[in-house]
Structure 1
Amino acid sequence: MTRVALSTSSVYPESSAHAFGYAASLGYDAVEVMVMDSLSQSITAVEQLSKHHGMPVASVHAPCLLFTQRVWGTEPWHKLERSAEMAKAVGAEVVVVHPPFRWQKEYARDFVNGIAALEESTGIAFAVENMYPWRASSKRGMEMYLPGWDPSDESYANTTIDLSHAAIARDDPVAMAERLGDRLRHVHLTDGTGSAKDEHLVPGRGSVGAAEFLRHIARTGFRGEIVVEISTRKAATREDREKDLAESLEFAREHFFANASG
């Protein structure tokens, strides 16, 4: 059954420990651990946080962002293996991963086959996330990912749609979901306005069509995880952050569960 989870990145600059606390107090179903701060890098710490708050871990987001390039070392396949190890230990079935940067040529060379091999050897679904062309202002984008930013162009068995990334790419997320079909395993619920910035807005505050997207995947039988991944860095107070997290949860439940088939 589909759950609504909270990404630990949604409470930054507060810690992963705070994310578990917010998720529990607001009524989220689970947490996605973004491997980033020291707590999120420790299997033991994540297990303890999950148990203490009664919050299951739905998924693990591998440390493949620009600013996490040195988390768990610099060898990318090792990072994915560590992510799968954490996922197994905490009972998560999904590892979220970004496609390689274009300068990671050796990693990118066999990325599609390597992901399939990891899924076979670990039993964990590696849900490859949609990214976007890098662009300044309204200028034409530059391809910064290999083999590409759109996972529907490749043969991945499991994929993630991130609505903020779709907004930057100016790609219709409903159309992407249709292209992916049952390979869509995971959703990062957020929003964007189509600017060149990765905004990660509260869903409903942008123009990507988050409500329509949720209604679409509900009607077409989506059974994966919906993870709220918003930016609350500009929240003036913890109360403001909490309001944004609560609004995002309510948005997910209103537009997905009211339209879910079966």
Structure 2
Amino acid sequence: MLVPDAKVALSTASVYPENTAAAFEIAGRLGYDGVEVMVWTDPVSQDLDALRRLSDYHGVPILAVHAPCLLITQRVWGTDPWTKLVRARTAAEKLGASAVVVHPPFRWQRQYARDFVQGIWQMAGETDVRFAVENMYPWRYRDREVAAYAPDWDPTTEDYRHFTVDLSHVSTSRTDALAMVDRMGDRLAHVHLADGSGSAKDEHLIPGRGNQPCAELLDRLARTGFDGHVVLEVNTRRSPGPVEREADLAEALAFTRLHLASAARLGSMKR
């Protein structure tokens, strides 16, 4: 079987409400290629020395760093958004990660939003780390839709060097995932793999449990020689306990490896 180049990683957010240390342990036990560190309120996720020790102890590389862009992380690594990105870049460089995932600014971050596109280009030119801007979604309440991100929740409306596509966010925005990937083209550098059912809530379902084209996307990545990372960023907080959570994460990994390898094998047979 031909194994594709793309590495399959586990987001540390996928084990919540367990912590960052548990994510390394689970990723190592299940055979993930690495982790993406979600920098959030867990002190370990903010501590480079602690992260390096976890990586070394479990033999699990850190492949990406998710900058603290969430509402609940507004005060993590300070309150200035550019300082957060500088620290995320430094973390990636020191930990050997090749990507920093960043969200578009919130609309109320007016100066940051005005300078964001140019600023990301400047930061990307100062490092080998890829700053991969992630697609988000409009916020919905009943029949109302609120544009919470600027310049846009859809990063393909702007000129960025690299993109992250998140299929759960695509589902929440009720857009076409493969059309978005087409718009990203060869600037697609990073994938957050999760499923969704089109709910207004950001579901992050295990791949195969919703209606998003998870298998089709993996097939396409394998056929086109995608050299970025595929990160399982799923919601397991409703799992009854640790055993069920680990079973869900094992299922997600098996789904991903199966579809990456099947498409790669088919492509080699056609050659």
| TM bucket normalised to smaller | over 0.9
User: Does residue 1:49 correspond to 2:54, yes or no?
Assistant: yes
Query: C-alpha separation between the residues in 2 aligned to 1:49 and 1:21?
Result: 8
Aligned Cα root-mean-square deviation (Å): 1.1
Query: Partner residue of 1:87?
Result: 92
Ranges of 4+ aligned residues in structure 1 off by more than 3 Å: none
Q: For residue 31 of structure 1, give the secondary structure of its aligned residue in structure 2.
A: strand
Match of residue 107, structure 1, among 105, 112, 116? 112
Query: Partner residue of 1:214?
Result: 218
Q: Is the 8 A contact 1:177 1:217 kept in 2?
A: no
User: Does residue 1:191 correspond to 2:195, yes or no?
Assistant: yes
Query: Partner residue of 1:123?
Result: 128
Paired residues, what number?
Answer: 261
User: Does residue 1:157 correspond to 2:161, yes or no?
Assistant: yes
Structure 2, unaligned stretches of length 5 or more? none
Match of residue 232, structure 1, among 232, 236, 239? 236
Q: Deviations over 1:93-124 (max 9, x none)?
A: 10000000000000000101100111112332
- How big is the shift at 1:220? 2.6
Query: C-alpha separation between the residues in 2 aligned to 1:140 and 1:216?
Result: 35
Query: Partner residue of 1:171?
Result: 175
Q: For residue 9 of structure 2, give the secondary structure of its aligned residue in structure 1.
A: strand
Q: Deviations over 1:179-229 (max 9, x none)?
A: 111000000010111010011110110111211221122223321100000
- Farther off after superposition, 211-220 or 104-113: 211-220
1:12-51 alignment runs, 5 A limit: 12-36=16-40, 37-51=42-56
Query: C-alpha separation between the residues in 2 aligned to 1:248 and 1:12?
Result: 16
Query: Partner residue of 2:205?
Result: 201
**Seq. identity, %:** 56
Query: Partner residue of 2:145?
Result: 141
Paired amino acid for 2:119: G
Query: C-alpha separation between the residues in 2 aligned to 1:235 and 1:30?
Result: 22
Match of residue 78, structure 2, among 70, 73, 79? 73
Paired amino acid for 1:113: Q
Q: Deviations over 1:57-98 (max 9, x none)?
A: 010000000111110111000000000111011100100000
Q: For residue 125 of structure 2, give the secondary structure of its aligned residue in structure 1.
A: helix
- How big is the shift at 1:176? 0.8
Paired amino acid for 2:55: S
